[in-house]
């Protein structure tokens, strides 16, 4: 099975899982003891429908575009999701045997806990650029469900130690799942995307560039003389400077721009819908901001290489070339004296 076929299989399993979730929550609504509880279960079913539509949209994209590799071990993801799908399918029968408020919340707890697989969050984060604003961008798809469930459990559930433990456990599972997902995509020091997370998400923007025929600019940034700064001030101060630079980058750019820690003292930024002149302007703004900031009281400067292109037929080759041009321009900036932008 090819990588694209494996991703398609994962999306199929996501669809099956949320189809079952919608069916189960609709069943819980039919037997709710109050209008308020009925409304709550209907809301959970509606959230599940939103998730379902998101996976279906990604499935459509995967049918006509080569979506890049997202998971390090897709075979393991498929196996785990298949097991969870089987477990979720059994919940409907359990509900039919015991239709009480307490049983409803226990079944909902099991349903949500089965859905707490890092793959769901990773897919949502990785393919946000491909959904073009049609789905929520600021909250994760499952976070709304978890918070709503815990709140409803306290409000409508039978006050027993067992059900209180259900709510606490689900919240803890969510927190752990969030950490696991972030570890695969985020740099622990800077809080930015790590190298792998950047390439997963940047390739989605590259596909959008091809589809919409828009330019994308790429910036590769290196802190000048960082090794000497590290030796003079110590590694802890060096880490603090990395974090301070990351904060300045996030404060300087748009929310739609993709920022990552590229290496030890290097950062990489993708600017969608940006021409070469726009990329140079953004890079100059970054250069001036960093030089003025003196993070941690240490005077530092950065060198920046800029490149721009519109993705065409061979996206992988075009995107790789874009990175090579930006990296080459960074080298030129450093050889010309540093603290400058080259495009």
Average pLDDT of the residues of the chain = 80
What pLDDT does 136 receive? 43
Identify the structural domains of the chain with CATH numbers, from first to last: 3-185 (1.20.1260.10), 195-342 (3.30.70.270)
pLDDT tens readout for residues 201-227: 787 777 777 777 888 899 999 999 999
**Whole-angstrom distance, CA of residue 201 vs CA of residue 193:** 9
- Out of 39-53, 134-148, 280-294, give the one with best mean pLDDT: 280-294
pLDDT tens readout for residues 291-314: 888 877 888 999 999 999 888 877
| Secondary structure of the chain in HEC code, one letter for each residue | CCHHHHHHHHHHHHHHHHHHHHHHHHHHHHCCCCHHHHHHHHHHHHHHHHHHHHHHHHHHHHHHCCCCCCCCCHHHHHHHHHHHHHHHHHHHHHHHHCCCHHHHHHHHHHHHHHHCCHHHHHHHHHCHHHHCCCCCCCCCCCHHHHHHHHHHHHHHCCCCHHHHHHHHHHHHHHHHHHHHHHHHHECCCCCCECHHHHHHHHHHHHHHHHHHCCCEEEEEEEECCHHHHHHHHCHHHHHHHHHHHHHHHHHHCCCCCEEEECCCCEEEEEEECCCHHHHHHHHHHHHHHHHHHCHHHCCCCEEEEEEEECCCCCHHHHHHHHHHHHHHHHHHHHHCCCCCEEC
Q: How far is CA 329 from CA 16, 167, 285, 287, 308, in A?
A: 47, 53, 17, 15, 12
Please tell me the pTM assigned to this model: 0.61
- Say whether pLDDT at 159 is over 50: no
Quickly state the pLDDT bin for 139 (edges 50, 70, 90).
Answer: very low
Quickly state the pLDDT bin for 55 (edges 50, 70, 90).
Answer: confident
* More confident site: 123 or 324: 324
**Whole-angstrom distance, CA of residue 298 vs CA of residue 174:** 39
């Amino acid at each position: 099975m090819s990588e694209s076929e494996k991703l398609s299989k994962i999306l199929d399993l996501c669809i099956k899982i949320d189809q079952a979730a919608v069916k189960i929550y609709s069943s819980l609504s039919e037997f709710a003891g109050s209008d308020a509880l009925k409304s709550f279960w209907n809301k959970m079913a509606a959230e599940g429908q939103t998730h379902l539509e998101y996976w279906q949209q990604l499935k459509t994209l995967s049918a006509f575009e080569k979506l890049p590799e997202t998971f390090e071990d897709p075979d393991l993801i498929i196996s785990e999701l298949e097991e969870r799908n089987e477990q979720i399918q059994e919940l409907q029968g359990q509900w039919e045997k015991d239709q009480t408020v307490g049983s409803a919340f226990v079944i909902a707890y099991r349903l949500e806990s089965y859905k707490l697989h890092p793959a769901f969050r990773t897919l949502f984060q990785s393919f946000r650029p491909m959904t073009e604003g049609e789905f929520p961008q600021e909250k994760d798809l499952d976070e709304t469900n978890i918070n709503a469930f815990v709140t409803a459990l306290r409000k409508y559930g039978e006050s027993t130690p067992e059900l209180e433990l259900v709510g606490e456990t689900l919240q803890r599972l969510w927190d752990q799942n969030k950490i696991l997902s972030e570890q695969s995509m985020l740099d622990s020091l800077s809080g930015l995307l790590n190298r792998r997370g950047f390439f997963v998400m940047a390739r989605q923007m590259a596909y959008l560039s091809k589809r919409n025929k828009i330019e994308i600019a790429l910036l590769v940034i290196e802190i000048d003389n960082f090794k000497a700064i590290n030796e003079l001030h110590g590694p802890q101060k060096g880490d603090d400077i990395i974090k301070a630079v990351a904060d300045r980058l996030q404060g300087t750019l748009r929310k739609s721009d993709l920022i990552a820690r590229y290496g030890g003292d290097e950062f990489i930024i993708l600017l969608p819908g940006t021409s070469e002149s726009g990329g140079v302007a953004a890079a100059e703004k970054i250069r001036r901001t960093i030089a003025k900031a003196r993070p941690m009281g240490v005077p530092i400067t950065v060198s920046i290489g800029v490149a721009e292109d519109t993705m065409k037929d061979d996206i992988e080759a075009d995107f790789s070339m874009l990175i090579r041009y930006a990296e080459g321009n960074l080298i030129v900036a450093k050889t010309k004296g540093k603290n400058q932008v080259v495009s």
